[in-house]
């Protein structure tokens, strides 16, 4: 049996496959043209944020399972997979600690304008600390939007390290682990000094943070997004930053051209290249969990994290 590895994964995950008699097939480039060309003869696929397109899935001849290395699965064409009788599953929670820690780092870096300060020092420019304003987060209010493993972990970090009041907007989650639920997104935004996004991208969450939401956000709030780019209307965010409604933003996810466009021109946005789950420990956990999902599916069992309905699978 063979498993196509669309993007690099930790060696421990590959070794687990080999020990079970599954040959990892490494894509030389993480694009869909390469995946489409190499997918024939593969029983499984492990992919990261590159996803797997309808064309690649259609080109498969014996594919049984697609495993997402991580949580987000919107880049997988699940309809095509289901039509062809292919299971799709992900590995939620395995990199949650790593993503929570990056959200924490982005929040502090945004509050103290660390990247901009660094650029000024390196350029030999003076007066940055006198010209700009900075804020402390200790004792202030945070809004966590989406309360899965990452959002919950981040909330506990904020409470333990900074004694922040933590509000949660997450209509689907019942157990908020002692934190305070807000009745609506607007109610949370109007109170929060820090807003952090941890919710999946669904039709109803597309541009969740858009013009309307940013019109009610507490003046001077910090925005952090380590979840999905589509949660934020970047044009509206630019306007909110210029108006001072958002004082700074830390983005680990964004549209392709954002670092070269109007968001970057504000000098109040931190961009990181999707670093959330890239610590060594997290990469190992996710790769091993992905490999285990492959082996479970190839053994004829349904992984616990399967995303498509068995009733939709082709006979």
Residue range of the domain that includes 267: 96-271
- 244 and 284 in one domain? no
Contact 226, 99 (CB under 8 A): yes
DSSP helix/strand/coil, 76: strand
Q: Taking a C-beta distance cutoff of 8 angstroms, is the pair 39, 60 a contact?
A: yes
Q: Are residues 43 and 125 in the same domain?
A: no
One domain, residues 261 and 294: no
Position 310 scores a pLDDT of 53
- The beta strand positions in 32-119, using DSSP E, are 44-47, 65-68, 87-89
Same domain flag for 39 and 80: yes
* Domain co-membership, 250 together with 168: yes
Token couple for 209: 């943070």
CB 247 within 8 A of CB 220: yes
Query: Are both 38 and 63 inside the same structural domain?
Result: yes
Residue 243 shares a structural domain with residue 111:
yes
Predicted pLDDT at 258: 97
Residue 315, pLDDT > 50, answer no
- What CATH number does the domain containing 200 carry? 3.40.50.720
What pLDDT digit, counting tens, does each position of 174-230 carry? 999 999 999 999 999 999 999 999 998 989 999 999 999 999 999 999 999 999 999
Query: Above pLDDT 70, what percent of the chain?
Result: 98
What integer best gives the mean pLDDT of the chain?
95
Same domain, 118 and 218: yes
Whether residues 89 and 118 fall in one domain: no
Per-residue pLDDT reduced to its tens digit, 225-265 = 999 999 999 999 999 999 999 999 999 999 999 999 999 99
Helix 280-298, helix 96-111: angle, nearest 10: 150
Distance of CA 66 to the CA centre of its chain: 19
Residue-wise pLDDT tens digits, 86-119? 999 999 999 999 999 999 999 999 999 999 999 9
Q: What would the DSSP string read from start to end of 270-302?
A: EE-SS-TT-SHHHHHHHHHHHHHHHHHHHTTPP
Same domain, 153 and 73: no
Domains: count for the chain: 2
């Amino acid at each position: 049996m063979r498993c196509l590895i669309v993007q690099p994964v930790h060696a421990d995950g590959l070794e687990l496959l080999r020990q079970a008699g599954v040959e990892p097939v490494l894509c030389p480039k993480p694009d869909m043209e390469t995946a489409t060309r190499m997918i024939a003869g593969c029983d499984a696929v492990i992919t990261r944020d590159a996803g797997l397109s309808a064309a690649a899935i259609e080109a498969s001849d014996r594919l049984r399972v697609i495993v997402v290395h991580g949580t987000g699965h919107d880049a997988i064409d699940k309809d095509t997979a289901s039509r062809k009788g292919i299971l799709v599953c992900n590995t939620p929670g395995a990199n949650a600690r790593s993503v929570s820690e990056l959200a924490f780092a982005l929040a502090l870096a945004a509050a103290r304008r660390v990247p901009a300060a660094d650029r000024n020092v390196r350029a030999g420019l003076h007066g940055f600390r006198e010209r700009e304003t900075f804020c402390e987060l200790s004792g202030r209010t945070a809004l966590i939007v989406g309360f899965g493993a990452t959002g919950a972990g981040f909330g506990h970090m904020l409470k333990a390290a900074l004694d922040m009041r933590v509000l949660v907007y997450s209509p689907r989650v019942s157990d908020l682990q002692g934190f305070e639920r807000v009745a609506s997104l607007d109610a949370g935004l109007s109170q929060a000094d820090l807003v952090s996004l941890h919710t999946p991208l669904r039709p109803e969450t597309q541009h969740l943070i858009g013009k309307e939401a940013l019109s009610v956000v507490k003046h001077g709030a910090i925005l952090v997004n380590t979840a999905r780019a589509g949660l934020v209307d970047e044009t509206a965010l630019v306007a909110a930053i210029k108006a001072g409604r958002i004082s700074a933003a830390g983005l680990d996810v964004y549209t392709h051209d954002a670092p070269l466009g109007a968001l970057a021109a504000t000098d109040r946005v931190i961009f990181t290249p999707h670093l959330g789950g890239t610590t060594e420990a997290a990469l190992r956990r996710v790769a091993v969990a992905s490999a285990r999902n492959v082996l479970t599916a190839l053994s004829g069992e349904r992984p616990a994290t399967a995303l498509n309905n068995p009733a939709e699978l082709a006979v």
